[in-house]
Amino acid sequence: MRRNSIQYSKLRHKAKQLIALFNEVRGKTILVEGKRDKKALENCGVDARIVLINRSPDSVSESLSGLEEAVLLTDFDDYGEELCGRMAESLQAFNVKPNTAYRKKLRYLLGVRCFEELDTRLDEFTEKLVENKVI
């Protein structure tokens, strides 16, 4: 593949965005639905506090009161969308800013539908970068 191709440029741009995203979440608090989501983030080397949403949204939000922000990484199925909305409302009630931007960015960059597949999607993307000689 030629280095100046459109696909090369898109892949390179996405790679830069992913690196920036993983750097930006460093040290933040991330909320996920389950243990497999947490494990996938850890497998990707995410350096953040990862909290399971395994209680009511108000209970989770109360335990996070005092934080400035919490990153929501719920799945894109009906349940995940509903949970994201409920958690966002609850976090705001406890004066914690809900951040859903990273959730949307990861869906765009890696095609993630559920976060337990994040590590697999990242591996596939890395392989594509190698194949196209981006890295």
Assigned domain for 43 exists = yes
Assigned domain for 33 exists = yes
Assigned domain for 116 exists = yes
pTM: 0.91
CATH for 27: 3.40.1360.10
Radius of gyration for the chain, computed over Cα atoms and rounded to the nearest angstrom: 16
Assigned domain for 1 exists = no
Assigned domain for 83 exists = yes
What 3 state SS string does 35-46 have? HHHHHHHHHCCC
Beta-bridge partners for 50 = 30
Structural contact between residues 127 and 16, judged by C-beta atoms closer than 8 angstroms: no
* Structural domain for 68, as ranges: 6-131
Could you read off the pLDDT of 68-90 as tens digits, one per residue?
999 999 999 999 999 999 999 99
Q: How many domains does the chain have?
A: 1
CA-CA distance, 12 to 125, in Å (whole number)?
11
Where is pLDDT greater, at 72 or 133?
72
Q: Which long-range contacts (CB under 8 A, 24 or more apart) does 18-21 make?
A: 18/109, 18/110, 18/122, 18/125, 21/102, 21/105, 21/106, 21/109
Could you read off the pLDDT of 21-67 as tens digits, one per residue?
999 999 999 999 999 999 999 999 999 999 999 999 999 999 999 99
Q: Which long-range contacts (CB under 8 A, 24 or more apart) does 122-127 make?
A: 122/18, 122/44, 125/14, 125/15, 125/18
